[in-house]
A and B are shown apart, each in its own frame.
Chain A
Amino acid sequence: MKTKKIKKWLEDFYLVIILLFLYAPIFTMMVLSFNNSKSRTQWGGFTVKWYGQMFESSSIMDALYYTLIIAFLSALIASIIGTVAAIGINRMKKLPRTITIGLNNIPMLNSEIVTGISLMLVFIAFGISLGFKTILLAHITFNIPYVVLNVMPKLKQTDYSAYEAAQDLGATPLQAFFKVVFPDIFPGILSGFLMAFTMSLDDFIITHFTRGAGINTLSTLIYSEVRRGIQPSMYALSTVIFITVLVLLLITNFAPENQTGIPASKAEAAMKKRRRNNNIRKGILALAAFTIVASVSFATYKKYASSHSNELYVYNWGEYIDPEVIELFEEETGIHVTYDMFETNEEMYPVIEAGAVQYDVVCPSDYMIQKMAENGLLAEINFDNIPNISNIDETFMEQSRSFDPQNRYSVPYTWGTVGILYNTKIIEERGLPVPTRWSDLWNPAYAGEILMQDSVRDAFMVALKSLGYSMNTVDETELTQARDLLIQQKPLVQAYVIDQVRDKMIGGEAAIGVIYSGEMLFIQEEVKNLGLDYSLEYVIPEEGTNLWLDSWVIPSNARNKENAEKWINFLCRPDIAKMNFDYITYSTPNKAAKALLDEDIQNNKAIFPDTDKLVNCEVFQYLGDEADTLYNELWKEVKSN
């Protein structure tokens, strides 16, 4: 008896460990939703403000609405098609059945990225513009297999003689189906529906490739935020969803009876089974009710909000504008803005090139602007419509000429440098030298303490500059040398990151990191607010660095060019540029806006370095397809080493 007790205890213990493993990240998210600091790695005190912000954020609420409505509709349609198909498949001969089931398995087994891309190719080939309906079609496609697989076993258990008997007694085939077969397979349909709903909710990759302008699900919204740090409101929303579902679950499962104990007889077991199916049914009904209520209320709101004739489609980096600026623009001009975000230049390019989504105004970086212009993707800006261009410092118009020779296509929005950020405390404690040069990133004393940039051009810029070469080189020997240098550095590197370098450095995860200067103001304020016992300093390496510009351009297929020009003009207004600077903290090329800033910010050398410090700096240029391929190949060799 005693061993049995121990065994039971061990079993329970095992169960608890597994549950802990499954739920630990979810508890982490819940805790982060109450974190006063925006940083993922530091605790800044308790707050519930993110819960309020979550409801105010129209991007989060829109994404929630689309996520739910797509999950619900795709699961519903998939349930209908899948159930009908399962009945048909069940009656097929052996060979066609095996083939059909094999085909049915493809979307489940195929890698998501292939499914996503292949669907995108088909939508473009068929001329279906990417948007809500393409996401829905894609989700239905990968949801049907789950329904089929759930319904098939139930159909096998169905007793056909009962169905025949019903018809003998005068029921039409349809009546017989709904009265006899349907109740038997219903639990299968329900669990198929539930599974489909869940898979749709959790999907990111396929949605990512099949979505169009102005539509985000929670997954794609989160992905666009990974770059500049997740808004804590996202954690708040997850917490709310989790609690809602958990409560629904507890109500449906524990309210009617006590579930423990082993059934004494078959009859009781059958009854329990019926209750269990009942519970799933109730759970799903509650779920459906929840979705419908949420969706209908948002749909009404959307309908009210989206009846505009005057439109503007904006495509910008994630977290790269003050949301209030968009609202002000809409108020002043009456133009309705559809705002979308991308994570990298390279990700944005094929979207514009394919023309599946027609944006009116886009904000790429220097070298990408050159590539777009050379490939005829940009329209010339009519500067008569942008009188506020006079507020832009002439230095930046001149720098723009390195990628836009006659200043025809672009208007500078933000600028900055790339440099080394270091943690004063770790450097001091370990007795390490303060970094001043790129070559310091090869100092073995920093082993495991270095954060490198995870993008081809930035990583090669570091290596090329430390070798004294141009960062725009296409010389194969120079590039091979740079590759060898990066391979040599790899064991010292803790991680290759993009903007997570910010959170990791604030959290004290690493001693030095390569970072964009625009993050500096946020970092310095955060270090002060959190009362950390170290400070983070920024240095522009002596060998020179990347001087980058992000500028607004108008794609040649823009449908609202004049509105796009109004938008650019609006952003060049000093008060608006200042608002944006306060929010995103990336240096503004707008001299009139800079003059409005506090003195100490104007004099902050990390944000507004003296131009004479920038002697060795260059602006990235587009190097042509061949060089691009070479860079990518060499980078892959670094990464796989």
Chain B
Amino acid sequence: MSTARAAAILLGKELRLEFRTRELLNATVVFAIIVVVLFSFAFNPTPDESRHYGPGLLWIAFLFASSLMLHPSFAREQSNDTLDALRMAPVSSFAILLGKMLANFIFLALAEVVLVPVFAVLYNVSITGIVGRLVVVLMLGSIGIIVTGTVFSAISSHARMRELLLPLLMLPILAPLLIAAVEATSALFTTQPYLDRTWVAFLGGFDVVFLTASWLLCDFLMEE
């Protein structure tokens, strides 16, 4: 079976599993909204300040929410002993990883679709004219978060204290992505919004580097 087809089937399985309960998605969205609201209490920003701090806050909320959301991705397989079944299936390890990455990407994208309008209302940021460009930045940033986060979810699922370990592994690695995503989003939130090509290229580069690394190293992640 080709990797793409296997990944698509596994993606279907992940989506079916999640949409039976929608536990993960609900928790992620609520958590991200809580971060946004608490931030507003902690700093009480004026409209000018919220334009200045908004992008950072938005990405911090995405990062923290995904560090929670990505943990069950592999932990769920472990508690049900279904990872062995996946390993026995006649598909490549990269297909398993890719299926999970695609599913996690969809979950994060759905959370963003809910969170960004809420954020725009609460922080008085107008996003009507920049939707297309914002989607590009959000997509590139989210791919980076999901690629590294899914790999680290596979790593941390074998350790003790795995819920705590995942953010410890994931957040420092994502620091350059956070900087680039925040700068690119800030450029869009200015009075004359523009797509900052340097940072967008950086985000793309980050995604390519870590996607290639996970393709090269995925066999080690999946071995018994």
Answer yes or no: do A and B interact. no
